[in-house]
Structure formats: C-alpha cells, structure tokens
Amino acid sequence: MLYEQIRTGGCLSYLIGCPETCAAALIDPELHQVDRYRGLAARHGLRLRYIIDTHTHADHFTGARQLARIFDAPVVMHRESPAPFADLRLEDGDTLHLGDLRLVALHTPGHTRDSMCLQVDGALFTGDTLLIGATGRTDLPTGDAEALCDSLFHKVLPLDPATRVYPAHDYKERSSTTIGEELASNPRLARRDRTAFVEMMRQLNLSAPTHLTEALRTNMSGGKTVDQLLADSAAVVPFMSLAELHGRLQRRANDFVILDVRERDAFEQGHIPGARHLPRGQLELRVNEAFPDPTVRILACCEFGKISTLAAATLRELGFSRAVALDGGVKAWRDQNYPMETGPAP
C-alpha cells in the first residue's frame, strides 16, 4: 500500500496506492518535490487520484495545487481548511475509495483547526497531530492545546496499538512508529489530564518556523512563493555566464546592451563597464524610450541575479525576444575581480 516516503528536510510526504488498480494518492506533498512525485508515480505505474493535505501547513510550502493541475486530481483537505483551492472537503469519518483501498478521514483538530488523520489499511497518516516521540505544536494560527488533547486521547490513541503511524514530520531520520510504541514512550502523552497537557504545551516555547508568513500566505491563498515566481521566470529566460560576458567585453562586442536594473546608488557605487541603468521598478515606465528597437539583445543584471531574471522575463513578455539575464549578478562579477566602473549613467 505504501509506495514511498519522501523526505524534504524534516517534512515527510507519502505516495500510497492500491497495488491491484494502481490508483494512488499523495499525502502532504511539498512544493519543491513536484518533479520527484511525478517521477515516482511514473516509476511505480500509478495513477494519482487524490492530492491530500492533512492540514494547513505553516512550515513548508504545499505542492498540492500544482500537483492537482498536473495530475488532474482534486486537492483534498478537511472542511475547515481556509485554502480556496481545496476541491474536495472531508468531514470526520468520510471515506475515500482508492482502488480497493479505503481511506478514512479522522478530524483531529489541535495542531490546526483543519487537521485530519488518514486511516488506511492498518496505517495512520497523522499529519502533525501525532509525531514520533512528540505531537504537533499548538501555538501557531488556529492551534488549540485542549482540542489536541481530545483528538489524541479520544480519537488517535484508542486505535489498535499495532497501527503503524506515519507522521508529516520527523527531524531525526526516523520513518514510522506505532500507536503502542508512542503510548509507551512518547513523553508528551505521559500526562492524560487535560489541564496538565495544556500546561505542558503552553510551556514548550518553540521558535517560529522559518518561512512562517510566506508558508501561511501561499498555503492559505494558493498564491506563489517568491522562489516559485523566480523559478517560473528562470524557466523562460536564457542566461549569460560571467565568463561569457567577460569574453564579450574583452572582444569589445557591441551587439548587445548591458542593462543594470538595481537602484541608482548601487549602480553608481560600481557597475559592469558600459552598463546602462534602468531600475526594475521603472522598467515598464521607461522601456519604450530606452529601447525603441525590440530586436536589441538586452542582458539584464542585478546584484544577485534574481531580480534581473524577473526583468528579463518581463522584457521577453514585452517583445524583446532576445533578452537574457546575467547568471550570478554584479556581486558575483565583483567577487571574480572582473572590471567595474563607478559613477552615474551617461
């Protein structure tokens, strides 16, 4: 039933499926692994039927929306999910057919209001409700320690002790556990008393996850991460290497324009010799007067090589079909001790 556990740092996602029918589901997919999921599904000959998020993640970027589009499968979440892109909203006890498998949703609020565990074939995918030797935290948006206590002690832990538990996180390279093992050794489950449990959760004092605001923004809205925006641009823009540019400058090639899109003070402190200056924020405003000829080859550059990728993509969209971006940016150029000029643009 379980085909793959896919690890992204401490985040775990799962590819499960019915061996008879090849119907499959992805649980808690991570955005950066989209190509890997495609590859794994193809390798195992699986048809993805459901893309499931066990809850609104605050610490990583969900790949559900992109995968749903790629596989033409619905995004499945709990009814309480704020995500506008959730196509199929489950309630407690709802069952999904996955070929011959039956996937049962248990609403287990606490880590978030929309948390659910998925029970299938003697296994339980617990999201962040129950982790190996820990539980999900309850101090992030919609977290509720009392609800987590009820979910754990009244829904999850009464299940068959032999149930294999697959959590959405583990930071110590462990892959699974069982209900019985957690009952015996999980320190957070030591005190069943509600008040004591809530007090323990309050005192955990955990640091905020990295990317918290960006993860919540994108996972709750379906919007893109900054990395995605850059990757989308990088996918449609060719790059020029620093060495290639250096060679061109040495040959005094004049068949292209270097366009520095940083702010004025950065440009004046040091730029690539001969570069023209047009800040990214003014690109659309001044492009017509700056570049009347759309066949000109423009090399966009910026400090780190990221904003210039966006600029080159914009230029291409505007019809400058030969626009390219410098691979590495002015900082990398400077670090290589390639020549620089200072002062205002001519």
Nearest approach in angstroms of CB 56 to Fe ion is: 8
Where helices occur in the chain by DSSP H, the ranges are: 34-44, 64-71, 145-150, 179-185, 194-202, 212-221, 226-234, 242-250, 264-269, 283-290, 307-317, 329-335
The count of C-alpha atoms lying within 13 angstroms of the C-alpha of 95, restricted to the half-sphere facing its C-beta, is 7
Nearest approach in angstroms of CB 275 to Fe ion is: 46
For 158, phi then psi, to 5°, come to -70, -5
Judged by beta carbon, residue 68 or residue 168, the one nearer Fe ion is 168
Q: Would you call 11 helix, strand, or coil by DSSP?
A: strand
Nearest approach in angstroms of CB 250 to Fe ion is: 53
Tokens 């969209």 sit at which residue?
317
Tokens 């999201």 sit at which residue?
127
Judged by beta carbon, residue 30 or residue 260, the one nearer Fe ion is 30
Judged by beta carbon, residue 57 or residue 224, the one nearer Fe ion is 57
Q: Per-residue string for binding with Fe ion, 55-94, x by CB under 5 A?
A: --x-------------------------------------
Q: Considering only residues 30, 53, 128, 303, which one is a binding residue for Fe ion as defined by CB under 5 A?
A: 128
Nearest approach in angstroms of CB 11 to Fe ion is: 9
DSSP letters along 58-99, please? Answer: SSS-B-HHHHHHHHT--EEEETT---TT--EEE-TT-EEEET
Of 20-28, 125-133, 210-218, 319-327, the segment contacting Fe ion by CB under 5 A is 125-133
Report which residue's Cβ sits closest to Fe ion.
128
- The structure tokens listed for 73 are 């499968």
Which amino acid is residue 254, in one-letter code? N
Judged by beta carbon, residue 58 or residue 283, the one nearer Fe ion is 58
Q: Per-residue string for binding with Fe ion, 38-57, x by CB under 5 A?
A: -------------------x
Nearest approach in angstroms of CB 62 to Fe ion is: 10
Judged by beta carbon, residue 26 or residue 101, the one nearer Fe ion is 26
CB of 175 within 8 A of CB of 134?
Answer: no
List the interface residues with Fe ion, window 274-333 (CB under 5 A).
Answer: none
Judged by beta carbon, residue 182 or residue 327, the one nearer Fe ion is 182
The angle subtended at Cα 170 by Cα 216 and Cα 37, nearest 5°, is 70
Nearest approach in angstroms of CB 86 to Fe ion is: 16
For 129, phi then psi, to 5°, come to -75, -50
Binding to Fe ion by residue 114, rule CB under 5 A?
no
Q: How many residues touch Fe ion (CB under 5 A)?
A: 2
Residues facing residue 4 across a β-bridge? 15
Nearest approach in angstroms of CB 179 to Fe ion is: 20
Nearest approach in angstroms of CB 77 to Fe ion is: 13
CB of 165 within 8 A of CB of 182?
Answer: yes
Residues that bind Fe ion in the complex, under the rule CB under 5 A? 57, 128
